[in-house]
Amino acid sequence: MKISELQTRLRKNDPVALAKAITMVENRKKDYKKLLESIYPLKGDALKIGITGAPGSGKSSLIEKMIAELKAQGLSIAVLAIDPSSPLSGGALLGDRLRMIQHSNDPNVFIRSIANRGHLGGLSLSTHEIIDLLQAAGKEIIIIETVGVGQSEVDIVNVADVVLMVLNPDSGDEIQVFKAGIIEIADIFVVNKVDLGGGENKLSEIRNYFAISGRDPLIFPTSVKEDKGIRELLAGIRRFQRDENGRISEKRSRLRENYIGKIVIERLQEEMRSDPAISSLLQGVGATNPYQAADRIVHIVKTGGTHDQKN
């Protein structure tokens, strides 16, 4: 499929074209940069919801219920499940979309598992690019589910407008989790599986913690099994979007800055790999210490690289 045809079909929300475009970007296939450049300016203004939480907290099951409610509102939805990379193929391992299979045949729902490509933050540059492809296809709600919880998951703040942290009533001492840094990025807390009991204690624990810090975040109890709290959660997300519109706009400016920074870093890494002088310096040839090597590499890049100098 030619880039022009792929771009046209993508803008018509063709799921086959969208899947092909994502594969092209993920695998860095020929002309993927041309494809990405062709989709701008992006249409629409998708709400990007990041969802994080410990394995077993019920993130995927919660997303299933959220999809059902959003479908009923007539919205076009996409879900990106960020999976750990296979150490052999680099591909996604968990296949979270299988848990949401009941929605996969709906033309208004697009579900895709993508690999984190070994990035400690859980999100590679291709995640940003895939989100842009989804927006170009006209998706109105984009849900990004991360691998787990902890320091490695804080990168979700660099792609999402609103971040949800999913907890369980029996998940132990959440203060230790908060100290890991998630407290700084979570906008909404969800106490899932309240049908198991202990939900009120967990809600009180979270409220008490935030009473000390002076922050009053939105907290919602949910039960996927009993189908409770999902509508209230989605209404809360919309309320956050409305009440924090200025904050979200400011966050999106930072997201763009982070996005462009990642593109620059990737381009520089490509230059470093292709330039023989830089490769030699990386291997320790001609430099007495790493700082000296780094200074020489920066100088080569700033002056156009040895390729340009030869020309």
pLDDT at 305: 65
pLDDT at 90: 43
Token pair for 253: 């400016």
As beta bridge partners, residue 143 has 49, 79
pLDDT at 96: 45
Phi and psi angles of residue 189, each rounded to the nearest 5 degrees, phi first: -110, 135
As beta bridge partners, residue 220 has 190
Taking each helix axis from N to C terminus, what angle separates 245-274 and 290-302, rounded to the nearest 10 degrees? 100
Answer for the pair 59, 53: CB distance below 8 angstroms, yes or no.
yes
Phi and psi angles of residue 301, each rounded to the nearest 5 degrees, phi first: -65, -45
pLDDT at 302: 85
pLDDT at 270: 86
Low pLDDT (below 70) residues in the chain = 84-104, 115-122, 148-153, 171-183, 287, 305-311
As beta bridge partners, residue 163 has 50
pLDDT at 95: 45
How many Å is the Cα radius of gyration of the chain?
Answer: 22
Query: How far is Cα 51 from Cα 73, in angstroms, rounded to an integer?
Result: 20
Region at 81 (left for phi over 0; alpha for psi -120 to 50; beta for the rest): beta
- Residue tagged 């700084």 (tokens): 184
pLDDT at 31: 92
Domain locations along the chain: 41-244, 257-310
Q: Which amino acid is at 46?
A: A
pLDDT tens for 206-247 read 888 788 777 788 999 999 999 999 999 999 999 999 998 888
The pTM assigned to this predicted structure is 0.85
Candidate CATH numbers 3.40.50.300, 3.40.50.720, 3.40.30.10, 3.40.47.10; the one for domain 41-244:
3.40.50.300
pLDDT at 177: 55
Query: How far is Cα 50 from Cα 151, in angstroms, rounded to an integer?
Result: 15
pLDDT at 182: 65
